[in-house]
Structure 1
């Protein structure tokens, strides 16, 4: 799903206008966000309490905090980008 969101928002299209080196660096970071999302999905499958798992997770608090903070970073970036695209008329507003 994250890949579809990146395509819809055009995350790689205009990273940093008029600054090629900074734009290339932002694109690297965006690729890392994709890897982070994949890692979060894997971590949830391996250590999460979903899928009917009854035993306590062996994950440590620091792992949970890492997953939470990574999720917040990705989510805030996507929401900020989505709002920016709407404000600039690049996306239709979300219907309610």
Structure 2
């Protein structure tokens, strides 16, 4: 297929669609090399690596997560009810005024 047979876009530059895909985060170490090394060494010094949890810690963590989820659900339901009430008041006011939708 010749290049003139179809519109290839990108300013008709073949290098645009012939190039190889770049590796994601390839230059991350080059750009943030010293900071990345410092962060990794600080994490290992502070012992922030993965640790095993005891059974009591696991139960406490699960309970904290349950409480967080319960609070999020409660907030969601309260927000939903407030929104529905405001919408109902707004629609009722429109009906009282006699504005036709």
- TM-score bracket for this pair, using the shorter chain length: 0.3 to 0.5
Higher-RCO chain (CA-CA 8 Å, sequence separation at least 6): 1
Per the normalisation by structure 2, the TM-score is: 0.31
